[in-house]
Amino acid sequence: MYKFFENLINPFARFPEETPPRTLWAYLKTQYGPFRKYMGFMALSGIIVALMETGLIFYSGRVIDLLAANSPDTLIARHGLELLIAALLILFLRPALIGLNHLLLEQTLASNMQEQVRWRAHKHLLGQSSGFFQNEFAGRLTNRVMQLGEAVEDSTYMAFEGIWYSITYVLGAAVILAGVHPILALPLLGWVVLYAIYTRYIARRVGVASEKWSDARSMVTARVVDAYSNIETIKLFADEGTEEGYVLSAMKRLRLRYQRFLRLMTELNFGLNIINGVLILSMMVPAIWLWSQGVVSVGEVAAASALTIRLNGMSGWIMWVTIRLFEHAGVIREALRSVATPHDVVDAEDARRLEVTDARIEFRGITHHYGRGRGGLDNVSLTIEPGQKVGLVGRSGAGKSSLVNLLLRFRDAEAGQILIDGQDVARVTQTSLRQAIGMVSQDSSLLHRSIRANILYGRAEADEAAMVEAARRAEAHEFILDLEDSAGRRGYAAHVGERGVKLSGGQRQRVSIARVILKDAPILVLDEATSALDSEVEAAIQDTLFGLMEGKTVIAIAHRLSTIAQMDRIVVMDQGRIVEDGPHEALLAHEGVYASLWARQSGGFLGDDVADGA
């Protein structure tokens, strides 16, 4: 039975992948789509349960009147069947209806809503460009995704379980009291108006305070995660004091904002008790007076009293639910600052898969200044013929990495075109583009998964033999067999830690190279691919890389010029432009920029005397 209700919704089903709306209600409507056909049943079952509860209290008053009007002998004789039916309804129908209501709310709604919201938010964020993540804390994004799911689910659940139930209960109570005597319904309706005004007054302030509190909470999470992710740097520079101050300032801000939120809670409880005192007196005094006039019975007074006491208890809960709704609204608005951000690199509407036949690459008049008007690339044109191996050389800031990032569409060029086999990379799908390019970068971070999973990331369908062969070619197989993690997993099953921290830099680089070897893409990009390797391993890997280059179009970036001297061509960049182009020997003979760089190398590396990013 549980599975039936749980499986009415698939939270991970395909959905229209559009930028989520920034406004609260518009965003909630996009999440409610799959649940809409069941929300009517949730509302109907909630109405029935609420009316049943008010009816039960009213019937308890009738039982008191029956007891007062009959002796023990006559009670069963005259009203035994009625009492038996009431008992059966309480024993069987009431639990069944309440159970159905909870199955819909908990199994259908609650068990699926959180994960649907989180999955859709995560999927949207995965589609963001690299630049988006460079400007955000990973911890803050994580916190916003996780809190968003909980806030949407809990607010929706409470809207049905709390607000909808309570409205029905109050209306049912008003009808019952009006049936006893109209005078008894008037104080209840007056209390409802006063209660609603006060709740709205507090709730709006809570919404603002909650958004600020949620923002401060996300910042604390961001700074803590940032510290843990870079713990080696913190330890290396013996800078725990500065780091403690950095996180402490965020925690102090969080404490202040939480205290402001709690002040509203205290104010809320104080005002609520005054309003509830008014309700009790305004209901009980007229009820007792009407009894004294012989207008209502003792049982009816008892029912009115029970309803009043029940409403008094419920009012605090209703107020708490309302405040939580506004608190969640603040959390959702804070999360939407990231989740509702449009993708800045998107597939064209008519984008097709990239079809690589020869792997010819053309850069036509590429200009990209990162929106700053300077730096980056300035009208760069370059053609790389099929199967050609091209080295990119230049000081830091020359534009080498910018050129590669635009080829991969990590960003879109501000002007110009990039074509692969005549196909504009801006008109093909990003997935097919990146599937056609294998890249080994100097940042050889790995996923916190097993060695096997990290290598198979290059080609998920590859078998074990192909994976092991890729590791052998990358000179990684031997050290992988010796690995063991803290959980006792060994070899290819061993987990590497966050960003591969359990491995040395050279080991991480070799696993990264194995991943690219397994991918076997027609275009190969090497960005300081051997920078983390020692000389002996580098010599072995160089042979592997040259073997890997066979039949591929290659772009290699290197500060160590000796590693690219054997390329077919060397393209020299300076201040975002191509200043020289030709084979190694010809460039040396030209005695230009490249020859100067070659002569000035110390230990085989270029001097980094330009400040702007590469």
Residue with tokens 């009808």: 175
Whether residue 550 lies inside any domain: the answer is no
Cα separation of 464 and 452, whole Å? 9
Are residues 162 and 194 both part of a single domain? yes
Instruction: Please calculate the CA angle 81-82-85 and round it to the nearest 5 degrees.
Output: 85
Q: If 0-12 CB within 10 Å is exposed, 13-18 middle and 19+ buried, where does residue 516 land?
A: buried
More reliable by pLDDT, 175 or 374: 175
* Residues 434/482, Cβ–Cβ less than 8 Å: no
Shortest CA distance to 480 belongs to which of 466, 468, 465, 463?
A: 468
> What CA–CA distances, in Å, run from 223 to 139, 215, 227, 250, 437?
7, 12, 6, 8, 34
* Residues 190/72, Cβ–Cβ less than 8 Å: no
Are residues 429 and 442 both part of a single domain? no
Mean pLDDT of 220-232: 79
Shortest CA distance to 319 belongs to which of 388, 391, 265?
A: 265
CATH label of the domain that carries residue 310:
1.20.1560.10
Q: What pLDDT was estimated at residue 613?
A: 41
Are residues 425 and 442 both part of a single domain? no
pLDDT category of residue 306 using cuts at 50, 70 and 90? confident
More reliable by pLDDT, 303 or 40: 40
Cα separation of 558 and 579, whole Å? 17
Q: For 379, list phi and psi in degrees, rounded to 5.
A: 55, 55
Are residues 246 and 314 both part of a single domain? yes
Mean pLDDT of 213-233: 80
Are residues 372 and 428 both part of a single domain? yes
CATH label of the domain that carries residue 361:
3.40.50.300
**What is the dihedral sign for C-alpha 30, 33, 35, 38?**
positive
Q: For residue 610, is pLDDT > 70?
A: no
SS3 labels along 83-94: HHHHHHHHHHHH
Are residues 190 and 309 both part of a single domain? yes
* Residues 510/454, Cβ–Cβ less than 8 Å: no
Q: What pLDDT was estimated at residue 611?
A: 35
Helix (H/G/I), strand (E/B), else coil: 226: helix
Q: What pLDDT was estimated at residue 609?
A: 41
Whether residue 369 lies inside any domain: the answer is yes
Helix (H/G/I), strand (E/B), else coil: 494: coil
Cα separation of 419 and 359, whole Å? 10
Are residues 144 and 78 both part of a single domain? yes
Q: For residue 106, is pLDDT > 50?
A: yes
Give the type of residue at 100: L
Whether residue 215 lies inside any domain: the answer is yes
Whether residue 463 lies inside any domain: the answer is yes
Are residues 416 and 441 both part of a single domain? no
Q: For residue 181, is pLDDT > 90?
A: no
Residue with tokens 């070899």: 491
* Residues 560/605, Cβ–Cβ less than 8 Å: yes
Span 385-431, pLDDT tens digits: 999 999 999 888 888 888 999 999 988 999 999 999 999 999 999 99
Whether residue 16 lies inside any domain: the answer is no
| pTM score, whole prediction | 0.76
Shortest CA distance to 250 belongs to which of 342, 414, 140, 159?
A: 140
Residues in contact with 489: Cβ distance below 8 Å, sequence separation at least 6, in sequence order = 450, 495
Strand order in the sheet with 569-574: 437-440, 523-527, 553-557, 389-393, 569-574, 577-582
Last residue of a domain, one of 339, 366, 393: 339
Whether residue 106 lies inside any domain: the answer is yes
Residues in contact with 423: Cβ distance below 8 Å, sequence separation at least 6, in sequence order = 354, 355
First to last CA, the chain: 60
Under the phi-then-psi rule, with left for phi > 0, alpha for psi from -120 to 50, and beta for the rest, what region is 158?
alpha
Cα separation of 39 and 55, whole Å? 24
Residue with tokens 């063991």: 484
Last residue of a domain, one of 339, 373, 395: 339
Cα separation of 527 and 500, whole Å? 19
Q: For residue 608, is pLDDT > 50?
A: no
Whether residue 67 lies inside any domain: the answer is yes
Mean pLDDT of 250-258: 89
Are residues 103 and 158 both part of a single domain? yes
Shortest CA distance to 471 belongs to which of 458, 460, 480, 461?
A: 480
Q: For 396, list phi and psi in degrees, rounded to 5.
A: -60, 135
Whether residue 90 lies inside any domain: the answer is yes
Last residue of a domain, one of 317, 339, 361: 339
* Residues 184/304, Cβ–Cβ less than 8 Å: yes
Quick one: DSSP state of residue 172?
A: H
Quick one: DSSP state of residue 372?
A: T
Number of structural domains found in the chain? 3
Instruction: Please calculate the CA angle 521-523-528 and round it to the nearest 5 degrees.
Output: 105
Cα separation of 319 and 373, whole Å? 54
Are residues 215 and 324 both part of a single domain? yes
What is the residue range of 183's domain? 21-339
Helix (H/G/I), strand (E/B), else coil: 265: helix
Mean pLDDT of 508-518: 90
Are residues 172 and 263 both part of a single domain? yes
> What CA–CA distances, in Å, run from 92 to 85, 99, 100, 484?
10, 11, 12, 58
Reading the block at residue 95, the tokens are 């639990």
Are residues 425 and 489 both part of a single domain? no
Q: What percent of the chain has pLDDT over 70?
A: 94
